[in-house]
C-alpha cells in the first residue's frame, strides 16, 4: 500500500507523535515525587523538546533509587544515634561565650539544625579563614605531611592537574608512612580523573573511590544531579577543612577565562573535626556497600564525644556541621539560611556564585529588605554556566527592585558560599543559593556562633565590595531585549538548572 505524503498526513503523524510524547512526559515526571516547580519545569522541557528533552532527562532528571536513599539514611541513623546524646541540656544552658547577649538567637538556629540534621554543637574550636587558594592548599599539604593517624578527603572536584597531583603526592607520602588515607570524589565533578590517577596511592595502602558508584573501573550513565558537592578534609580527627574550594588549578586562578578565583574555606582545629569525621564516614560507608573498599568502623569512633564548656576565649568558636541532600526532605541547610535571614535585626550579607533561590528564601530576603534590614548579596560578574547565570541575573533584578542590594564582583570569579548576620552568626560551606544545592546535591556547611569570626567574615565581604559594582534598576533596564528574554526563559528552567 502506497502512502501519499500530503501535508494532512504529515500533520496527523506529528499530532500522534506529540500526543504520545505528552503522555510519556507526564508518566516520566509523575512516576516519582517532586516539588511542583520541578514538575512543571520538566513537563515544559519534555513537551517542547521531544527527543532532546528526554536525553536531558536521562542525564539530569533521574532520581536516586529507593535502594540508594534507604542505604544513605540507614548509614546516617547508625552514626547519629551514637552522637546526639546530651545535646539538649547543653543548648539550654546560656553559654558565656563571645556572643554579647545574642546567644538566644544562636540557640534557636542550633536547635533547628539539631532537629533537622542531628547536627551537634561543639564549642572548643579554633578557626582560620582562607580566601586565597594558594595559601589554603599550601597549608593543607603542610597539615597532610604532619598527619600521624589518618587523612580523609572528600571533594566534588579532584582534578588530575598540577594542583591535584601536588595533593596526591602529599597523600602518597602519608600512606607511605602508614597513615590511613581515604579519598572520596564525585565522578561527574572530577571529569578526566580516573581510578588510574590513584593507582600508586592504593599500592601504598591508601584507598580512593567515586561517591555512590559501583566501581572505580566501571563508568555508568553519568548523572548531572545528585552530586557529592561537599568539600571536606579531616586529619587525625582533630583538624578539619570545610568550605567552597575544590582541588584543581582553576581554584588557584590558573585559568585565563575566570582569572582570580575568590572563594572561602575554613580550617577548624577542635571537636568540630570529629563531626567532619562522622560526615565523611557516612559518605564513605554508603559508597562501600557497592565496592570492595574498607568501611570505617563508627562503633567506637564517637563513643567518647563530649561537649566542653567554652573557656570564654573569643577565639573558641561554637560550631555545627550541617548536611543536606536528596536522601531526605529536611532541607537543613536551606532552612538554616532561611532562619538566619528571617531572624535578622540589622544586616544579612550573602556571597554565592549562583542566585536561584526558592520561594521561601526569596520571600525572606524581600521581607527582610522591606523591613529595613541591610540585605546585601554578592554574585560573579561573569558566567561559568550560561543558563544558570541568566537565571541569576533574573533573580538579581527581581531582588534589586525589591530593596535588596546586589553586587557584581569584578576581580575574577567569586565562588564563596557564605552568610553572615548579627554579632555572632555565620555559615561557610558548599551550598549555593539555588535549587541544586537546596534539593539535588549532597552539601555540608559549618554554621558558626562567634563574634570574632562573624566580624572577620563581615569585613571580608566589605573588602570585596571595593572590587564590586552595585547593581541598579537602570543597569538591568539598559540590557538588550535578547538578554532579557534569555533571563526570563532561564528562570522558567531554574528548578532543574
pLDDT band at 101 (very low <50, low <70, confident <90, very high): very low
pLDDT number for residue 342: 96
- Please tell us whether the domain made up of 66-86+126-315 is placed in CATH 3.30.870.10: yes
What is the mean predicted confidence (pLDDT) over 162-179? Answer: 98
Is 8 or 166 the better-scoring residue by pLDDT? 166
Domain locations in the chain as residue ranges: 7-61, 66-86+126-315, 332-496
Of the given ranges (135-139, 273-277, 419-423), which has the lowest mean pLDDT?
273-277
pLDDT of amino acid 16: 65
Q: How confident is the model at residue 280 (pLDDT cuts 50, 70, 90)?
A: very high
Task: Please tell me the CATH code under which domain 332-496 is placed.
Answer: 3.30.870.10
Instruction: Tell me, letter by letter, the H, E, C secondary structure of the chain.
Output: CCCCCCHHHHHHHHHHHHHHHHHHHHHHHHCCCCCHHHHHHHHHHHHHCHHHHHHHHHHHHCCCCHHHHHHHHHHHHHHHHHHCCCHHHHHHCCCCCCCCCCHHHHHHHHHHHHHHHCCCEECCEEEEEECCHHHHHHHHHHHHHCCCCEEEEEECCECCCHHHHHHHHHHHHHHHCCCEEEEEECCCCCCCCCHHHHHHHHHCCCEEEECCCCCCCCCCCCCCCCCECCEEEEECCCEEEEECCCECHHHHCCCCCCCCEECCEEEEEECHHHHHHHHHHHHHHHHHCCCCCCCCCCCCCCCCCCCCCCCCCCCCCEEEEEEECCCCCCCHHHHHHHHHHHCCCCEEEEECCCEECCHHHHHHHHHHHHCCCEEEEEEECCCCCHHHHHHHHHHHHHHHCCCCEEEEECCCEECCCEEEECCCEEEEECCCEEHHHHHHCEEEEEEEECHHHHHHHHHHHHHHHCCEEECCHHHHHCCCHHHHHHHHHHHHCHHHC
Q: State pLDDT tens for residues 119-139.
A: 888 888 999 999 999 999 999
Q: What is this structure's pTM?
A: 0.84
pLDDT score for 100 = 45
* pLDDT band of 94, cuts 50, 70, 90: very low
Least confident of 122-136, 197-211, 254-268: 254-268
Q: What pLDDT was estimated at residue 466?
A: 97
Mean per-residue pLDDT, 211-217: 64
Q: What is the mean pLDDT of the chain?
A: 83
For residue 196, pLDDT beyond 70? yes
Between residues 224 and 252, which one has the greater pLDDT? 252
Candidate from 154-168, 209-223, 401-415 with smallest mean pLDDT: 209-223
Amino acid at each position: 500500500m502506497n502512502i501519499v505524503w500530503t501535508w494532512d498526513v504529515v500533520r496527523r503523524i506529528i499530532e500522534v507523535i506529540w500526543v504520545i510524547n505528552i503522555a510519556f512526559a507526564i508518566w516520566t515526571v509523575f512516576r516519582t515525587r517532586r516539588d511542583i516547580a520541578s514538575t512543571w519545569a520538566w513537563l515544559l522541557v519534555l513537551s517542547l523538546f521531544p527527543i532532546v528533552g528526554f536525553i536531558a532527562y536521562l542525564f539530569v532528571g533521574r532520581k536516586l533509587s529507593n535502594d540508594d536513599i534507604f542505604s544513605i539514611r540507614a548509614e546516617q541513623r547508625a552514626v547519629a544515634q551514637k552522637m546526639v546524646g546530651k545535646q539538649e541540656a547543653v543548648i539550654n544552658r546560656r553559654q558565656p561565650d563571645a556572643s554579647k547577649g545574642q546567644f538566644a538567637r544562636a540557640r534557636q538556629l542550633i536547635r533547628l539544625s539539631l532537629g533537622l540534621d542531628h547536627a551537634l554543637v561543639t564549642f572548643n574550636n579554633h578557626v582560620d579563614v582562607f580566601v586565597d587558594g594558594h595559601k589554603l592548599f599550601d597549608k593543607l599539604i603542610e597539615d597532610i605531611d604532619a598527619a600521624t593517624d589518618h587523612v580523609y578527603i572528600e571533594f566534588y572536584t579532584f582534578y588530575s592537574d598540577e594542583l591535584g597531583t601536588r595533593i596526591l603526592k602529599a597523600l602518597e607520602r602519608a600512606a607511605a608512612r602508614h597513615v590511613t588515607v581515604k579519598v572520596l570524589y564525585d565522578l561527574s565533578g572530577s571529569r578526566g580523573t580516573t581510578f588510574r590517577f590513584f593507582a600508586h596511592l592504593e599500592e601504598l595502602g591508601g584507598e580512593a573511590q567515586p561517591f555512590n558508584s559501583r566501581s572505580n573501573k566501571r563508568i555508568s550513565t553519568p548523572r548531572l544531579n545528585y552530586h557529592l558537592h561537599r568539600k571536606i578534609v579531616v586529619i587525625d580527627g582533630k583538624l578539619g577543612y570545610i568550605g567552597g574550594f575544590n582541588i584543581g588549578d582553576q581554584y588557584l586562578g590558573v585559568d585565563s577565562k575566570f582569572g582570580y578565583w575568590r572563594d572561602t574555606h575554613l580550617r577548624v582545629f577542635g571537636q568540630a573535626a570529629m563531626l567532619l569525621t562522622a560526615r565523611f564516614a557516612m559518605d564513605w560507608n554508603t559508597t562501600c556497600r557497592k565496592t570492595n573498599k574498607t568501611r570505617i568502623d563508627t562503633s567506637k569512633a564517637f563513643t567518647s564525644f563530649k561537649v566542653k564548656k567554652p573557656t570564654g576565649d573569643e577565639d573558641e568558636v561554637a560550631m555545627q556541621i550541617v548536611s543536606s541532600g536528596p536522601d531526605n526532605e529536611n532541607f537543613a541547610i536551606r532552612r538554616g539560611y532561611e532562619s538566619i535571614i528571617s531572624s535578622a535585626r540589622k544586616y544579612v550579607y550573602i556571597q554565592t556564585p549562583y542566585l536561584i533561590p526558592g520561594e521561601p528564601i526569596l520571600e525572606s530576603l524581600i521581607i527582610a529588605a522591606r523591613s529595613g534590614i541591610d540585605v546585601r548579596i554578592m554574585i560573579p560578574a561573569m558566567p561559568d554556566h550560561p543558563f544558570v547565570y541568566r537565571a541569576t541575573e533574573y533573580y538579581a533584578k527581581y531582588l534589586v527592585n525589591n530593596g535588596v542590594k546586589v553586587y557584581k564582583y569584578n576581580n575574577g570569579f567569586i565562588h564563596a558560599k557564605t552568610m553572615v548576620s548579627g554579632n555572632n552568626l555565620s555559615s561557610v560551606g558548599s551550598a549555593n543559593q539555588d535549587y541544586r544545592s537546596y534539593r539535588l546535591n549532597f552539601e555540608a556547611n559549618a554554621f558558626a556562633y562567634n563574634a570574632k569570626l562573624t566580624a572577620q567574615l563581615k569585613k571580608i565581604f566589605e573588602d570585596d565590595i571595593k572590587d564590586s559594582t552595585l547593581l541598579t534598576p537602570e543597569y538591568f533596564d539598559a540590557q538588550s531585549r535578547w538578554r532579557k528574554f534569555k533571563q526570563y526563559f532561564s528562570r522558567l528552567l531554574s528548578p532543574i538548572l
